[in-house]
Structure 1
Amino acid sequence: MNDSEKTVPDHPAPWNKGKLIGQKPPLKLREIWALRTRLELAGKIRELALFNLAIDSKLRGCDLVQLRVNDVARGGDILTRASVVQQKTREPVRFELTEPTRVAVAAWIAKAGLTSGSYLFPSRRQDSPHLSTRQYARIVKGWVGLIGGNPQEYGTHSLRRTKATLIYRRTKNLRAVQLLLGHRKLESTVRYLGIEVDVRWTPKFGPGVKL
């Protein structure tokens, strides 16, 4: 058999063939409000609570889906600030729950009849006690489609990155954003935000951003 007759062995297709890879972009402020409006008008109480909490908490998907009612509520009242231990770093991270989030979460807890120890977002499937990260990812892509975006360009990290990016753009305070994201190293925050900056100096401004 000559070289021209040799067959080329089959190789599995690359995992990322046909997929957009790289950092997922954050949502813009107008996109946040557009999506909130769509979810409110559609009466999507669970999804509105999930969306608002994802934006405010800046948690990774694995931490967000495992939240329990008592992580964000005490005695029937929704907390203004909460603290969660991250699975990845085993370090606590604090976050603020804005008024739209508190209202949405309270409405969802009441509608679902959740108790203090319940998972905040229980799964509708029998094989999981809470919403899975895969289900959450599908929901996020559905949200992006609702506002005319390309679902392939966005992911769950888009929501984690959204408020952190808005805070950085407004304050330029990398160290505040580092704490809000629960990063151990400032360099990780720089890479996560996709910015170029000298991390040896950061201006000191407050981190508050109202959404």
Structure 2
Amino acid sequence: MTITLTELARWEAWMRAANRSEETIRLRTYHVRRVMTDLGIDPWSATPEDLVRFLSAKSTGWKPATLRSYRASLRAFYAWAQATGHRQDNPAALTPAVNVPRSLPRPLPETILTEALRAADVRVRLMLLLSSVCGLRRGELARLRREDVVEDLDETGARRHVLLVRGKGGKERMVPVPTSIAGPILRGPAGYVFTSEAWGMAGRPLTPAHIGRLVSAALPDGWTCHTLRHRCATVALEITKDLRAVQELLGHAKPETTAIYTLVRVNRIRAAVAATSSMTPTVDYDEVA
């Protein structure tokens, strides 16, 4: 027996009840269907060995982060299956954790950002700015509405624009936004900021994947919406020296995640070494030898 659309719909309803985003729901269901199709089995008879076989076969061609994401989807699916009586066990719980080596952040270089802003059309330019300046994810861009630009008072009592950003898991945060970015949004129509131009889809928001493709197309190969967030985090930390502020800006639950996004420039590391060197006692190594 294979998994049916009705059963998938029940799992999707379960995830919505847990306040998972639509992007997460689509990704999780795709992962499970992909695994079962590749293995040629139904999910109700899959063993831990079957799931390990799938992950092991993909380990040579896929990035570790992708493997970890698939494992997370399988663990979530079988936790639901066990809780609802479809299975007595959770075979995915017995699969080994995937080690993901920490990689260096890749902030988009300023020269590339400048060229992209010059060449992009008005809509894509706004996407680039919201990601590189305000740190929005592509999913947050897709959910952004004109009504989410509101006024707030800063510490001096002056009125400033802020964005009400709905992040992962429905978490909300307030992000200050420059007038140069808030203005084009406020001058646009009510509703979603980035809508489809396809026939019959007027007023419907673009999907996060579509926004990601538009942004990537405006940048050289290898640079994505995510590297714009890395640029935002890196520049913000360099200027403010405040990791907690950058954490709140990006909407991270933990400062450790923010640290992964921020590239420490070589000149700062060089300065750190110079500082420690200046405090080190002078030693005549020839004399010691």
Indicate conservation of the 8 Å contact 2:108/2:228, yes or no. Answer: yes
Paired residue type of 1:164: A
Paired position in structure 1 for 2:229: 160
Mapped pair 1:81 → 2:81? no
Q: Quote the Cα distance in structure 2 between the aligned partners of 1:92 and 1:173.
A: 21
Paired position in structure 1 for 2:241: 172
Paired position in structure 2 for 1:148: none
Indicate conservation of the 8 Å contact 1:27/1:159, yes or no. Answer: yes
- SS of residue in 1 equivalent to 2:175: strand
122, 133, 137: which one aligns with 1:45: 122
- SS of residue in 2 equivalent to 1:65: helix
Paired position in structure 2 for 1:124: 197
Indicate conservation of the 8 Å contact 2:164/2:175, yes or no. Answer: yes
Q: What is the CA deviation profile of residues 54-100 of structure 1, one whole-angstrom value per residue up to 9, with x for unaligned ones?
A: 223312211111111101268xxxx6212223133x33222122233
Q: What is the CA deviation profile of residues 128-153 of structure 1, one whole-angstrom value per residue up to 9, with x for unaligned ones?
A: 921111111211221113xxxxx2x2
For the structure 1 residues 30 and 194, does the alpha-carbon distance in structure 2 shift closer, same or farther, using more than 3 Å as the test? Answer: closer
Q: Quote the Cα distance in structure 2 between the aligned partners of 1:105 and 1:175.
A: 28
Aligned residues: 163
Larger relative contact order, structure 1 or 2 (CA cutoff 8 Å, min sep 6): 1
* TM-score, structure 2 normalization: 0.48
Indicate conservation of the 8 Å contact 1:140/1:155, yes or no. Answer: yes
Query: % of aligned pairs identical?
Result: 25
Shift of 1:23: 6.5
Higher helix share: 2
Q: Quote the Cα distance in structure 1 between the aligned partners of 2:171 and 2:108.
A: 26
For the structure 1 residues 106 and 85, does the alpha-carbon distance in structure 2 shift closer, same or farther, using more than 3 Å as the test? Answer: closer
Mapped pair 1:57 → 2:134? yes
Q: What is the CA deviation profile of residues 85-138 of structure 1, one whole-angstrom value per residue up to 9, with x for unaligned ones?
A: 3133x332221222331344345x1xxxx22xx111111245792111111121
131, 141, 145: which one aligns with 1:68: 145
85, 89, 93: which one aligns with 2:173: 93
Paired residue type of 1:134: A
- The root-mean-square deviation of aligned C-alpha atoms, in Å, is 3.2
Q: Quote the Cα distance in structure 2 between the aligned partners of 1:105 and 1:16.
A: 45
Indicate conservation of the 8 Å contact 1:48/1:104, yes or no. Answer: no
Indicate conservation of the 8 Å contact 1:56/1:96, yes or no. Answer: no
Gaps of 5+ in 2: 1-52, 66-102, 152-159, 265-289
Shift of 1:177: 0.7
Q: Quote the Cα distance in structure 2 between the aligned partners of 1:124 and 1:191.
A: 36
Q: Quote the Cα distance in structure 2 between the aligned partners of 1:80 and 1:106.
A: 10
For the structure 1 residues 169 and 131, does the alpha-carbon distance in structure 2 shift closer, same or farther, using more than 3 Å as the test? Answer: same
- SS of residue in 2 equivalent to 1:80: strand
Paired residue type of 1:120: V
- SS of residue in 2 equivalent to 1:164: helix
Q: What is the CA deviation profile of residues 149-205 of structure 1, one whole-angstrom value per residue up to 9, with x for unaligned ones?
A: xx2x2222112222111011223221111111111211121123256xxxxxxxxxx
- SS of residue in 2 equivalent to 1:144: coil
Q: Quote the Cα distance in structure 2 between the aligned partners of 1:172 and 1:162.
A: 15
Paired residue type of 1:96: P
Paired position in structure 1 for 2:258: 189
For the structure 1 residues 179 and 18, does the alpha-carbon distance in structure 2 shift closer, same or farther, using more than 3 Å as the test? Answer: closer
Indicate conservation of the 8 Å contact 1:56/1:95, yes or no. Answer: no
Gaps of 5+ in 1: 1-10, 146-150, 196-211
